[in-house]
Amino acid sequence: QTVVTQEPSLTVSPGGTVTLTCASSTGAVTSGYYANWFQQKPGQAPRALIYSTNYKHSWTPARFSGSLLGGRAALTLSGVQPEDEAEYYCLLYISATQHYVFGTGTKVTVL
Amino acid sequence: EVRLVESGGGLVQPGGSLRLSCEAFGFTLSGYWMHWVRQAPGEGLAWVSRVRSDGKITTYADSVKGRFTISRDNVKNTVYLQMSSLIVEDTAVYYCVRIDVGTDMVTVDLWGQGTLVTVSS
């Protein structure tokens, strides 16, 4: 069973840059995993940010970007704002099993 | 306004059953794969199940396979999750999620507000 791992927590200063990663236990994450990224604030449903590795939704702020980095999916926040403090999850599609697997989540603190 | 509205959550005893519904507003469900995702209290997100646009293909997470059944009624613009043999570990907020699968593209773009299922004696 595939396990998808993210950094448990990251801290960033306002205006700074932070990169979150999403790793698969079965090997390198490629474009074929169609990584999606979500933001979730307490008491709210998740909100979609990035799809298919690096595409932004119409509502996604420009400071969010997705990529592949060193065999992992990555979400970069540039020019971080206080409202970016939240939990972030990745989602990978596992073609071998036709299952989807969420990452363990990263708590981003803006301090 | 495009949205998904879940209903049917509540308190159920271990071993019991419950059916969740997810109605779509502002768009036609028939063009999309639809999924259920859950989140236990204080925990992360977990994918549960999916159903193809025509209802003919379904897939389940190992943790619910054989106990949960996903289905859809495109005329009613509604997706369902029939849950049986419920255990305490099924306690979670259940979200309905729309996923658009295209040529070399997977787009998760719409979540419902969630419905809480509590399994307890």
pLDDT tens figures, A4-55: 999 999 999 999 999 999 999 999 999 999 999 999 999 999 999 999 999 9
Could you read off the pLDDT of A70-111 as tens digits, one per residue? Answer: 999 999 999 999 999 999 999 999 988 889 999 999 999 999
Q: Do A52 and B108 touch (CB under 8 A)?
A: no
Chain B CB within 8 Å of residue A94 CB: no
In the predicted structure, residue B105 carries a pLDDT above the cut 90? no
pLDDT computed for residue B104 by the predictor: 85
Q: Is the pLDDT of residue B91 over 90?
A: yes
Task: For B102, list phi and psi in degrees, rounded to 5.
Answer: -120, -170
Determine the pLDDT at residue A106.
98
Distances (CA, A) of A2 to A100, B26, B49, B65: 9, 35, 16, 16
First to last CA, chain A: 36
Please state, in angstroms and rounded to a whole number, the distance separating the CA atoms of residues B84 and B20. 11
Cβ–Cβ < 8 Å for A51, A65: no
B103, pLDDT greater than 90: no
Radius of gyration, alpha carbons of chain B: 14
Sheet with B18-25: strands ordered across = B3-7, B18-25, B78-83, B68-73
* DSSP conformational letter for B43: S
Count the alpha carbons within 13 Å of A18 in the hemisphere toward its beta carbon: 22
Please state, in angstroms and as integers, the Cα–Cα distance from residue B115 to each residue in A71, A88, B19, B40, following that order: 36, 21, 11, 12
A83's CB contacts (< 8 A; 6+ apart) are none
DSSP state of B31: G
Residues 2-31 of B with CB under 8 A from A: none
Site of tokens 């932070």: A18
pLDDT tens across B20-61, in order? 999 999 999 998 999 999 999 999 999 999 999 999 999 999
pLDDT of residue B110: 96
The set of residues, in sequence order, having a beta carbon less than 8 Å from that of A39 and lying 6+ positions away, is: A46, A47, A49, A84, A86, A87, A88
User: Which tokens go with A39?
Assistant: 């933001």
Whether A1 has a pLDDT exceeding 90, the answer reads no
Of B44, B109, B112, the CB nearest to A89: B44
Q: What is the structure's pLDDT at B27?
A: 94
Q: What percent of chain B has pLDDT over 70?
A: 100
Q: How far apart (Å, rounded) are the C-alpha atoms in residues A47 and A51?
A: 12
Average pLDDT of the residues in B76-86: 98
- Chain-centre distance for alpha carbon A37: 4
Interface of A with B in 27-66 (CB under 8 A): 31, 34, 36, 38, 40, 45-48, 51-52, 55, 57
